[in-house]
Amino acid sequence: MSTLFSPVNVLAMVPFAAALAWRIYQVVRAPTLPNWSVTACIAGFAAAFLLQQTVISDAVDDVFGLGAARVANNALLACGVSALILFFLGSALGPVRRYRRVVVELVPLAAAIVLMIVAMSVTPPELRGAALGPETIHDNGVALFYLGAGLYLIYALLACTAWIVRYLRVADRNLRIGLRLGAVGLASAAVGSIFRALYIVVAWAFGPVVKILLLLGVPFVVLGGALFLAGVTYPGVRARLSALRRRRRHRHEHQALAPLWTVLVSAFPSIVLRTPPRERFSPRSVHRVYYRRVIEIRDGLVQLSPYLDANFGEVVASDPGAAAAALKTALRRHADGEESDGRAKQVLPAGADDIESDVRPLLALSAAMGT
């Protein structure tokens, strides 16, 4: 039975899938070079992870020949990190310099991939696709393959880390946590790659196999990959959690405004705005219904304002109970058809600069109306 869906693999694939889904959503919303680059980066890492699974690597080797899966795996890793470099180039440079640097960055990537293909082709058939270890390290083809792949990863990982550190100075506060996690992750992966490169150089050039260098590299690479994924997904997770909190608050406040809204709609049915059918099932319908209710309440208060005192807005802010009593009296006078002074008045505290600021006194007034 394949181990592709073992608990460990599934646990590792979940963050890849979540990060890739979030980035695809971002690309659909804004298909810019930076968004495409990060999406390609995560897709490359995810595909490389899948190619490490025996059931998939064996299938690739059966179709394309021994060692093909190993070449594809390392090429995808290199392309993933290269795409991350392109993200920073696309974000930091102007159009002219950006495309020149893209061409420059593609040269070492292409050279590394060509070197891996050549090294695999000169490797004895029985060693092609074999993992790096004491039994394979002294073969020239194996050593050249892993050293070429490792050196490019070291360069690209350190370059991305430097870009992130530079970008941290001007990044939004909410983005810095994700960037720091990503920088630490990439630096950790670079350290692991350096340990592996030292293992290859020492064994290939001088003969002794220092296994501790290879063993030290593994936890750094694994930890680095996990931290990088955490850094990439952190802004999206934070944004989703913030959106959920905002939606829950709007739903609660929509219900809390019901007592005030009900009495005003009873007095002025025309204030109710029409709801397009397509909006009723929209993910943003909670926010639209909430803002519509606030607007309807404000319209109702404005229509009732000729029956209210001139200082009603100040009373709402200082004494919601007294404002509720004044509002009930005004509603009763309006229902009885009494004469008003005909002048519209300030119905909310002065100084509110957005609709969210208007809601606070309305919530207090609605609570007072309900009691």
Measured distance CA(313)–CA(267) in Å, rounded: 20
Which of 10-24, 107-121, 274-288, 303-317 shows the lowest mean pLDDT across its residues?
Answer: 274-288
* pLDDT above 70: residue 12: no
Q: Looking at residue 249, what is its pLDDT?
A: 92
Q: Looking at residue 283, what is its pLDDT?
A: 54
* pLDDT above 50: residue 23: yes
pLDDT-based confidence at 259, cuts 50/70/90? very high
* pLDDT above 90: residue 119: yes
- What angle, 0 to 180 degrees and rounded to 10, lies between the N-to-C axes of helices 33-51 and 54-64? 90
Contact between 327 and 369 under an 8 Å Cβ cutoff? The reply is: yes
What are the C-alpha distances in Å from 232 to residues 82, 177, 254, 321? 16, 10, 34, 49
Percent share of the chain, pLDDT over 70: 91
State the SS3 of the chain: CCCCCCHHHHHHHHHHHHHHHHHHHHHHHCCCHHHHHHHHHHHHHHHHHHHCCHHHHHHHHHHHCCCHHHHHHHHHHHHHHHHHHHHHHHHHCCHHHHHHHHHHHHHHHHHHHHHHHHHHHHCCHHHCCCCCCCCCCCCHHHHHHHHHHHHHHHHHHHHHHHHHHHHHCCCCHHHHHHHHHHHHHHHHHHHHHHHHHHHHHHHHHHCCCCHHHHHHHHHHHHHHHHHHHHHHHHHHHHHHHHHHHHHHHHHHHHHHCHHHHHHHHHHCHHHCCCCCHHHCCCCCHHHHHHHHHHHHHHHHHHHHHHHCCCCHHHHHHHCHHHHHHHHHHHHHHHHCCCCCCCCCCCCCCCCCCCHHHHHHHHHHHHHHHHC
Q: Per-residue pLDDT averaged across 318-337, rounded? A: 89
Q: What is the pLDDT of residues 271-310, one digit of tens each?
A: 888 776 665 555 568 888 898 999 999 899 889 888 888 8
